[in-house]
A = this chain, B = another copy of it.
Amino acid sequence: MELDGRKKVILKTIIQNYLETGEPVGSRTISKCSDLKLSSATIRNEMSDLEEMGYILQPHTSSGRIPSDKGYRLYVDELIREKDQEVADIKELMIQKTDRLEHVLKHVVKVLASNTNYATMITGPTYHQNRLKFIQLSKVSEKQLLAVIVTEGNLMKNQFLEIDEPIDDDQLLKLNLLLNTQLNGLTIGEINLDMIRNMKLQAGIHSSVVGSVVDAVADAIQPDEEDRPVFTSGATNIFKYPELSDSATASELINALEEKKELVEILKGSGLEADDSPGTGIQVYIGNESPNAKLKDCSMVTASYDLGGGLKGTIGILGPKRMDYENVVDNLKMLKVQLDKIFGDEKNKTVQDVSITIDAITQPTPEEEE
């Protein structure tokens, strides 16, 4: 059997109708609202075919049809192909310039959640290859040093170091010089034991400090994948969709949103695969296509964002299978544009804002616009 034009139109109508109502849709409904002037009987025949082909299914004999995962998939693919052509028309999102990326991210999920009425999530960016840029040891008290480590993306980390014996200003200066000359511009992978031994040798009595600093560096430069920041919003939106709001399903979904670790896993995966479908970077998972079994009754749309400077993260939207894909995809595209607007223009500034969990940095040039 072949999926001719008419079948496609009917399928599309069925899906759109189902997206709105959430109820199985019958032949008569289609016959009325579709542009095709066909009687319900004809539609029935077509629907019968569509069912045979696996695009729609019947919850029970003699109820209307609902789209199958395969049906959704066809619809979404088609939809996204169309969307690719259009230039997304950007309604202005109310993202204000805030002083920390963390805030922006929180804001983004919130806006997105209230815009779409689905649950949303976003992961903070990661750096591919983080290089050391600057190290500074300062003496805070007799036996305590403060190490400040700055990496290329201006990710910062502070750490106190206890020292056994006092160190004078001159020695500290030398130590700083040593650390900076030796380690500057390196990634964690490039620091080897040889170098460390070498440095320890040169540092003399303060070799233990070098060890501590290197440890701190390792930490700063390779931030825990484990507690990569994830923000979620609109979890309660799930309750707006009856098919998801029974106690068991809702519990499972909200649990999934709560388990940040799993969430990161899912979103990370999405980000990678996004390379497949070029152009948009938007991925749609329908039902069982999802990497996580918990989400088998939902759909999830993810998009990876890129703030330049190697900063990449992922946004996700979680909703029922009968999600308004069109709106969601639009929103995500719009969001990308917005983020670019905010962060894209000045590379330096962008990167500056980005020390997420690790540090609080305020906008260097405070252009107020509240």
Contact = CB atoms under 8 A, between A and B. Distances in A.
Contact of A355 (B133, B158, B236): B158
Interface size bracket, A side: 35 or more
Contacts of A358: 359-360
A148 interface: yes
A250 interface: yes
Interface string A115-139: 0000000000000000001101010
A255 B154 CA distance: 35
A352 interface: yes
Contacts of A233: 258
Taking the full assembly, how many copies of this chain does it contain? 2
Interface stretch (A190-198, A329-337, A361-369): A361-369
SS class, residues of chain A in contact with chain B: mixed
A179 B297 CA distance: 59
A328 to B, nearest CB: 20
A161 to B, nearest CB: 7
A162 B258 contact: no
Nearest to A357: B360
A210 B238 CA distance: 50
A235 interface: yes
A157 interface: yes
A266 interface: no
Interface of A: 103, 133-134, 136, 138, 140, 144, 146, 148, 150, 154, 156-162, 215-216, 219-220, 227, 232-233, 235-236, 239, 245-248, 250-252, 254-255, 258, 352, 355, 357-362, 364-365
